[in-house]
Amino acid sequence: ATDGEEGERKLSRLSERVGRLVTVESANWNKNLARLEFTGLEGSDELDSLREVTDAAEAVDGIKVFSIGSSMEIIKDTGPAPELDVYDVKTFEGTHGLAHTRLATESVVDTCSSHPFWARPFADIAVVHNGQLTNHNILRKYYQRRGYHFLTENDSEVIAVYIADKLLRGKSLEAALTDSINE
């Protein structure tokens, strides 16, 4: 997306489309980041509701969802760290912060492919990973057959969904991480 008027048009379309499912309390545009706060996530299955909101948002041309939740916000961009001051992260409130920079050797260099990776559509779960996952294609196909959606081809995104799926199935975070080493 772009700054200025084009960004405001996208934000308006995004708010309208997502607003069909939930109540949009606030909507802001900053550089290439749209941020919505909403209430009224309805439905018997929260995971399905999160999927619906994500799908509705990404139906707007040029919009990709990087995170959903009440405990975590992912801001992704590419470029030198000083250029990221536009997001004013020093004003964020919370108990943890994480910044990540890397030289991509095997993956695309763009905003979507940069870390961290959100475990779509699970709220408040993300992964930053340095290394190589050799069986990510096998795992990705397995999770896609089970209905999971991936935004990129990056191997680290598979880890986020893997961990979230294990948590959904009742594993502890420690057990899910231990399982990941063997699998």
Q: How many other C-beta atoms can be found within 10 angstroms of the C-beta atom of residue 99?
A: 11
Q: What is the dihedral of CA 165, 167, 170, 174, to 10 degrees?
A: 130
pLDDT digits (tens, 9 = 90+) for 104-138: 666 678 888 888 888 888 888 888 888 888 999 99
CA gap 99, 175 in Å, rounded: 26
| Mean pLDDT score across all residues of the chain | 86
Burial class of 118 by CB neighbour count within 10 A (0 to 12, 13 to 18, 19+): buried
Q: Give the pLDDT score at 101.
A: 72
Binning pLDDT at 50, 70 and 90, where does residue 3 land? low
10, containing H or E segment: helix 4-18
Confidence (pLDDT) at 30: 84
Rounded Cα distance between 99 and 143, Å, is 28
pLDDT tens digits, one per residue of 26-81: 999 888 888 999 988 866 688 888 989 999 999 999 899 999 888 888 888 887 87
Rounded Cα–Cα distance for residues 148 and 140 (Å): 9
C-alpha to C-alpha distance for 79 and 157, rounded to whole angstroms = 21
Sequence-distant (≥ 6) Cβ neighbours of residue 133 within 8 angstroms: 139, 155, 156, 158, 159
